[in-house]
Structure 1
Amino acid sequence: MSEGATEATVSYNPFEKRNLTHPTTNIDTLIHLIKGSLGSGILAMPLAFKNAGLWFGLGATITIGLICTYCIHILVKCAHLLCQREQIPSLCYSDVAETAFLAGPDKVKKYSWWARFSIDLFLVVDLIGCCCIYLVFVATNVKQVVDHYTNSDYNVRFYILCTLAPLICINLIRKLKYLTPFSLIANLLMGTGVGITLYYATHDMPSVSDRPAIAELNRMPMFFGTVIFALECIGVVMSLENNMKTPQNFIGCPGVLNFGMATVVVLYTSVGFLGYLKYGDETKGSITLNLPVEDFLAQAVKIMIAVAIFFTYSLQFYVPMEIIWKRTQHNFNEPRDFAEYAIRIGLVILTVAIAVALPNIGPFVTLIGAVCLSTLGLMFPAIIELVTYYDVPGYGCCYWVLWKNIALILFGVIGFLTGTYVSIVEFTENLEEDLKSLI
């Protein structure tokens, strides 16, 4: 890099070049970040601890939370450096990968298109999968309450279908700024619901000696996939950072990211530890399903959390819709509003159809976590940093950046392979049971 180019790079401030019509404040971004992380995954944490053991689950969850947060730091830090180096105001996740590969060593330049396509594909599959999972959580909890008070027994698929009309309405909102009130309401409801759930979990608790400290090795992949799914919010991170009024406050100390992820990890660890300690082998896929059916407060919790997760759908939906619209908008004539609304409605219908077809949530959660989030949350940030820093400023003393990123990639590959295998086996078994019940 020439001296003149270096001076131009240093003087270029990408944050000053962003032209945002509806920027989000630090508080807005924190609310969205917590909401993007604090979804249905928190309800599955006791089941994750069941698959890991009480004390191993505690230590492993905190460790995975730190690793996930660190990988987000890597991605955002590389994005800032590439924006400054290439004099670009902002980059989405796939833009970061493509730009890094194009500016990297000659041998990787030809893979820039593959990097962009792979990340966009995994993001769409991951977040559409999350939306489907959210619908099943909402329907399952609402079904329990309705069945209790009406003595009915409608299939959970019926309740999933009932979400279609309100989902279409809320997902016609196109600006992230206007989704902030829904995220705030969702955070309040989720926080209240989780607080009450912890109250139930801490009532008449058994001794920690009654629960195994570590589970069988063959159950660990289910734990890994569930925790990665629960904690990883990398799919929405770049969209949140790109929409900030003060993006320089996103990372750093304390920073929006650190504060938000610390809050999320503490909540997830608490729910997982206390939930499994309370219910043991009786722990279900969602801790709300363990709450007493006859208790009015417990029923209220299920409704609060169902509404919170319903509102979270819109934030998860925002990124895949943004990716798909960018790739398809040039095919439509101006004005394009009708086409965008049609795609939004079509995607919502698709998620509802998938949730209706696959309402058994456990293996689906692990599969999404293992396949998409091991790739997006662990492997790709490490690869992007390797390409970005191959000569500026280098890999550090004893090439520690190189060895650290190789370790992250291997960790992601192990989680990808083991989690995928276990979830596919369980998914196949449950699908066979569903087919038999239908016949």
Structure 2
Amino acid sequence: MTNNETIMLQKFGKIEAKYEPNATDVDDYDPHEYRNISHPITNTETLIHIFKGSLGIGILAMPDAFRNAGIVSGFIFTILIGTLCTYGLHILVQAQYILCKRKRVPLLTYPDSMKAALLSGPRIFHAFANASSILVDTFLVMYQLGICCGYVIFVAASFKRLIDTYLSEDLSIVLYALFLLIPFILILSVPNLKWLAPFSLFSNVITFVCFGIVLYYIFNDLPSISERSYVGAFYTFPLYFGTTFFALEAIGVVIVLESNMKTPKSFGGSFGVLNVSMFCIILLNVGIGFLGYWRYGDETHSSVILNFPLEDTLAKIVQGLYSLAIFISYGLQGYVPVDILWNTYLAHRFSDSKYPKLWEYLLRAVTVFVTFALAISMPRLGIFISLFGAFALSALGIVFPAIMEICVKWPNDLGAGNWILIKDIALIAVGICSLLFGIYSCALEMNIGFSSIQFHSIQYYLFMLQK
């Protein structure tokens, strides 16, 4: 059996991801050398995609996040949270690599890695191994679909706000969403990450142009920094954490990108693709958040571009361009659930079909219809996405990687004084705290209206459109 056949059988559930504890020849096997990807992506393309996957609607809410945390606290904690998210990804990728060496396979998906890790860890975890792979897939699919729903609302609401100023009749946001249905289907029909790279590059160019316009408005008449709160109120910190985790974490996209790299060894390392991209992403989020709050203070809106006067041509340009960038990002965010659903659960069912590609593109179209239906039919969708997003991000980005590291290093490789075990237990506690912060944020939004959490910018758009 070839290595490629092994990967496909694992994806289709034909091979159990079970750790073989008696394997003694793992050191001479390098999984990276045996990967066989149909359309591998280069380091540059991976970097472009990570930028596009992480620089979405969340970064526009960072000034409001700093308003909730305070300008000094926001600066410090954003760096710490970004470092934590990056470290969680490193733990996950390293654990996957160790498991691939042990099983002598080129590639294991996140769900298969989770299952294999639990089977190799303490006996108490073995009973949860089979369910864990389904749980990971569910979290990834639901969260990515939630992001897509948010993007649909953001783009439709933005275009409505721009175009309605030139129309005598106020059209429904549902009509704007329906006008965008075919374009969204087309962007999600780009079949692989290799072909998506030019779109992501173009979207990144637009995004950085928008950041330049944002900075132009911010630096226009900066007040004294002493007028800003250095530390926010304790009860608003959960709102800050919810926004910041959402803005910085893109685990679903990052893991898929690493598994499709032409040179996966370049992903990790001190100056690898992950560290370089996350350093830039953290820097941008800190910069936009710090400067945006410095400029607008307590008047900061949930999306900083809402602070710009809409009658200004430049403000209209930045709103339109950023909406275009988010539209293109839909293709990358939607790629993750389609890849999971098709390769793991559906492709083998249509392997004998004359037109398997037709079924795959039908799945892509159905995915778009589902996100549109949810976005249109549930006006308070943002609350539920925020709640599930907080759960999924804390689990996928922090808790699960920490559990995997404990399992793959169990019982004799946990370091002096079991410091790795202690460190990972601390990470699990942090992940649980982030979940509690997310629940608290959603409770606040349900009680007091439009709070600053993960999709608050979308909710604010809808609020403004209903006025």
Distance (whole Å) between structure 2 residues aligned to residue 268 and residue 402 of structure 1:
31
Aligned partner of 2:89: which letter? I
Closer, same or farther in 2 for the Cα pair 1:148/1:310, shift >3 Å?
A: same
**Number of residues paired by the alignment?**
435
Letter in 1 for 2:395: T
Partner of 1:108: 125
Matched ranges for 1:142-157 at <5 A? 142-150=159-167, 153-157=170-174
- Length-normalised TM-score, structure 2: 0.87
Partner of residue 85, structure 1: 102
From 345, 353, 357, the equivalent of 1:327 is 345
Question: 2:391 is matched with which residue: 350, 364, 371?
Answer: 371
- Is 1:15 the equivalent of 2:35? no
Aligned match of 1:412 = 431
Equivalent residue runs for 1:238-253 within 5 Å:
238-253=255-270
Deviation at 1:191, TM superposition (A): 0.9
Cα 1:257–1:84 shift into 2, 3 Å: same
Rounded to whole Å, the distance in 1 between the matches of 2:62 and 2:269 is 28
Bigger drift between 240-249 and 320-329 goes to 320-329
| 1:170-209 equivalence runs, <5 A | 170-209=187-226
1:63 alignment partner in structure 2: 80
Deviation at 1:4, TM superposition (A): 8.8
Contact 1:91 1:238 survives alignment (8 Å):
no
Give the aligned residue type for 1:176: L
Aligned-pair distance for 1:418? Answer: 2.7
| Shift in Å, 1:425 | 4.2
Structure 1: unaligned runs, 5 residues or longer: none
Is contact 2:121-2:406 (8 Å) kept? Answer: no
By how many angstroms is 1:285 displaced? 2.1
1:10 alignment partner, SS class: coil
Kindly indicate whether the alpha-carbon contact (under 8 Å) linking 1:29 and 1:240 is maintained by their aligned counterparts in 2: yes
Deviations 1:19-54 (A, max 9, x none): 122111100111011111111111111121122122
Task: Check the 8 A contact 1:103/1:388 in 2, yes or no.
Answer: yes
Contact 1:374 1:412 in 2 (8 A): yes
**Which residue in 1 is equivalent to 2:369?**
349
Q: Structure 1 pair 269/362, CA: closer, same or farther in 2 (3 Å)?
A: farther
Cα distance change of structure 1 residues 421 and 2 upon mapping to structure 2, 3 Å threshold: closer
5+ unaligned residues in a row in structure 2: which ranges? 1-18, 451-459
SS of the counterpart of 1:40? coil
Q: How does 1:277-426 map to 2 (within 5 A)?
A: 277-325=294-342, 326-332=344-350, 333-335=352-354, 336-359=356-379, 363=383, 366-391=386-411, 394-426=413-445
SS at match of 2:27: helix
The TM-score normalised by the length of structure 1 is 0.93
Shift of 1:109: 2.1
After TM superposition, the structure 1 stretch with the greater mean CA deviation from structure 2, 97-106 or 172-181, is 97-106
- Tell me by how many angstroms 1:426 deviates: 1.2
1:349-377: per-residue Cα shift (whole Å, max 9, x none)? Answer: 11112222345686466434422111111
Question: How far off its partner does 1:136 sit?
Answer: 2.0
- In 2, the alpha carbon distance for the partners of 1:40 and 1:2 equals 44
Separation in structure 1 between the aligned mates of residue 20 and residue 64 of structure 2, nearest angstrom: 55
Question: Offset of 1:79 from its aligned partner?
Answer: 0.9
Q: SS at the partner of 1:11?
A: coil
Q: Distance in 2 between matches of 1:282 and 1:3?
A: 59
Match of 1:81, as an amino acid? I
Q: For residues 192 and 361 of structure 1, what CA distance do their matches in structure 2 show?
A: 30
> Which whole-Å CA distance do the structure 2 matches of 1:48 and 1:365 have between them?
18
Deviation of 1:126 (Å): 0.9
Structure 1: how far apart are the matches of 2:377 and 2:301? Answer: 21
User: Deviation digits for residues 187-246 of structure 1, max 9, x if unmatched?
Assistant: 110111012101111110112221211222221111111111110011122211111111
Closer/same/farther in 2, CA of residues 350 and 298 from structure 1, 3 Å limit: same
How many Å separate the matches in 2 of 1:157 and 1:36?
26
Amino acid at match of 2:349: N
Question: In 2, Cα distance between the equivalents of 1:350 and 1:362?
Answer: 15
Distance 2:82 2:138 in 1: 24
Q: 2:414 and 2:376 mapped to 1: Cα distance?
A: 48
- In the aligned structure 1, how far is the partner of 2:172 from the partner of 2:227? 36
Q: Which moved more, 1:411-420 or 1:145-154?
A: 145-154
Could you tell me which residue of structure 2 aligns to residue 212 of structure 1?
229
Q: Tell me by how many angstroms 1:412 deviates.
A: 1.0
The amino acid across from 1:409 in the alignment is I
TM-superposed deviation, 1:132: 1.1
Secondary structure, aligned partner of 1:5: coil
SS at match of 1:173: coil
Contact 2:242 2:441 in 1 (8 A): no
* Distance of aligned partners of 1:230 and 1:365 in 2 relative to their CA distance in 1, 3 Å threshold: farther
